[in-house]
Structures are given as C-alpha cells and as structure tokens.
Structure 1
Amino acid sequence: MKALAFLTERLIARAEAQGDLRGLEGEGKPLPPAEGGAYVDPIESAGFRMMAREGALPPEVVLAKQAAALREELKATEGEAERRALMTRLADIEMRRAMRMEARRRGR
C-alpha cells in the first residue's frame, strides 16, 4: 500500500509542476461533503465522485440514493400499512448498505 501512496504522491507532484492541476473546476474551493457520512475515506469519496461523473456508481452510493428517496416518500405517505412497508424496505436497504460499507472498511 505504501508503494501505491508513493506513486500517487509522485504523479500528483508531477502534474502540479507541469501545471496540469490549474484551472480545474472547483479550484480553490473546499471539497464537497463526503457521501456516505463521516466514516467514508476522503480518497474513496473522491473516487466515488469521479465515478459518479462518469455514470458508474458503487453499490453503497446507489443504496444511499435509494434510502434517501424512500425517506422522502415516507414523509409524504399517510397510511399506516404503506408507511410500515416503506420502513421495512428502508431498513433492508440501510442494512445492505451498512454491510457493504463494513466490508469495504475491512478491505474485502
């Protein structure tokens, strides 16, 4: 892993020296908040953003979007049976997302 970090730092330093990192969108602005909460590695978060721009999202992000949509739907739902069904679906999605994030954290 140290070799990868070294190589990454070297490539970034080279790009900086050549001016390849100037004039990029968002230059000088803070990074957007990390998707997935406080426990997402900033490097993974940056990778997720790049993947999203290209239309390829990791399963954790897809599940987070599904959960957010279900929460919004839940706010607008009044019937008890419908709310219970939505909460069951939301719990399932949140559990699958947590399992994927834990597996990623452990390096699997």
Structure 2
Amino acid sequence: MINQGSEGTLVFKHGETLRTIEIPIVDDLKTRRDECFEIELANPEGGAKLGRITKMAITISNDDEFNSVLQRMMVMTTHNIKSMQVHHETYKTQLESVNSP
C-alpha cells in the first residue's frame, strides 16, 4: 500500500535551529521489505531561509525476522537457565534449614 503522505507547518521560534517531527509508525506484523519516505522543507515564511539541504530520505528497516529470532533466543536462554538451577531456596532458607535441629 502506498501512502500519499501528508504535509504540515513546522514553526521555528526566533533563533531556533532544531525542531522535531513525530511520525507515527504502525506495525501491522506483516513481513515486508524496508519502507522509505522523504521529508522536505519548503516555502519558508517571515524572512526565514532554508539551508542547502532541504530534503531527507528516511528508511525504516524491516526487523520482523530479527525480532522472531531474538524471541526464540530469549525462550531458549530462559529454559536453559531454569534447567541449571541447583537450589530453589534463598540463602536465608538454606541457612535456616542447616541450623535447625
């Protein structure tokens, strides 16, 4: 699905040189290729001027496969750690059981 994008106004206060744009990303859990879009600054007002670079390309890397592998590794690690446990008691309960008649 190709989104036609959107536009808006980015307001800089006097002397500001940095602003943040929030871009919502919806994870639909479908395996896809990397997704790309562009951000372009244009039409400055109020005497403002744009620098030499006015357009930027953003790539969102597909991490679905990575997350699946990571999840499997976490499950295996948890299983292995549980199987290596020797005692299920705390140090306190172990000491109390040794010292009790």
Q: Report TM bin, short chain.
A: under 0.3
| Structure (1 or 2) with the greater helix fraction | 1
Per the normalisation by structure 2, the TM-score is 0.24
Q: Say which one has the larger Rg.
A: 2
| Structure (1 or 2) with the greater strand fraction | 2
Per the normalisation by structure 1, the TM-score is 0.22
